[in-house]
Amino acid sequence: MAREQNIKTIDLIKNILKTVKLLIIIDIHGICAEDMRYLRRELNKKNQHIKVFKNQLSKQAIKDTPLQILSENIKGQVALIWDSYNTPTSPQVLKMCKNNISRSNIVCGFHNGEKKDSAYIEYLSNLPDMRTLRINLLNIVITIHKKLLFNIKYQAITIINLLKIKSC
């Protein structure tokens, strides 16, 4: 029965990893259960996923995949956080929760087909969300239009004044 359960778990991990765009491995040694529930709750609010698997099953699941380079980092008490939409939401939630969960350490990550270190994951946490990016882009477009309309108006008034002067 245990072997069948392990095979099911390996298949589950493989299915998860087929669609993963961002995978983060965090060290959860010393984190109490309440802090883990808090982290899981915050990630679930943002449609992100966290799960603790047995290390050997995780290593078996990533064997012969591009994620195999992470197998050396799957040791001790670790949890996998993954995102299928390629957004910086998971790192942002980890950054937000860092104040409440003092012992969570980012081990490494996997993003866009490459292994990334913890500094890169922290860099992702500083990226603004899509809503903020859209607002900033709209502000740039509006500012450009305002300047363009001002220049057109200014140039039109200048041309009219020049024509008045020449007609006199």
Q: What tens digit of pLDDT does each residue of 148-163 get?
A: 777 777 677 777 777 7
Judge if 16 and 76 occupy the same domain: yes
* Among 25, 132, 8, 18, CA closest to 84: 18
Judge if 138 and 150 occupy the same domain: yes
Burial (CB count within 10 angstroms: exposed 0-12, middle 13-18, buried 19+), residue 96: middle
Q: What is the pLDDT of residue 102?
A: 66
Residues in the chain: 168
Judge if 98 and 155 occupy the same domain: no
Confidence of residue 165 (pLDDT cuts 50, 70, 90): confident
SS3 139: helix
Q: What is the mean pLDDT of the chain?
A: 87
We report the CATH number of the domain holding residue 89 as 3.30.70.1730
End-to-end CA distance of the chain: 102
Judge if 19 and 88 occupy the same domain: yes
Q: What is the pLDDT of residue 101?
A: 76
Judge if 117 and 134 occupy the same domain: no
Please, which residues bridge with residue 81 across strands? 24, 50
Q: Is residue 1 scored above 60 in pLDDT? A: no
Interior angle at CA 122, CA 49 and CA 98, nearest 5: 65
pLDDT average, residue stretch 65-72:
92
Q: Tell me which residue range forms the domain holding 83.
A: 2-127
Stated pTM of the model: 0.76
Do the Cβ atoms of 83 and 90 come closer than 8 Å?
A: yes
Judge if 71 and 88 occupy the same domain: yes
Judge if 58 and 141 occupy the same domain: no
Q: Kindly state the percentage of the chain with pLDDT values over 70.
A: 94
Do the Cβ atoms of 67 and 21 come closer than 8 Å?
A: no
Q: How many CB atoms lie within 10 A of CB 155?
A: 10
Judge if 132 and 69 occupy the same domain: no
Q: Strand 22-27 relative to strand 78-83: parallel, antiparallel, unpaired?
A: antiparallel
Confidence of residue 28 (pLDDT cuts 50, 70, 90): very high
| Total number of domains constituting the chain | 2
Judge if 28 and 7 occupy the same domain: yes
Q: What is the pLDDT of residue 129?
A: 77
Lowest mean pLDDT: which of 8-12, 28-32, 108-112, 163-167? Answer: 163-167
Judge if 110 and 133 occupy the same domain: no
Judge if 32 and 72 occupy the same domain: yes
Judge if 163 and 98 occupy the same domain: no
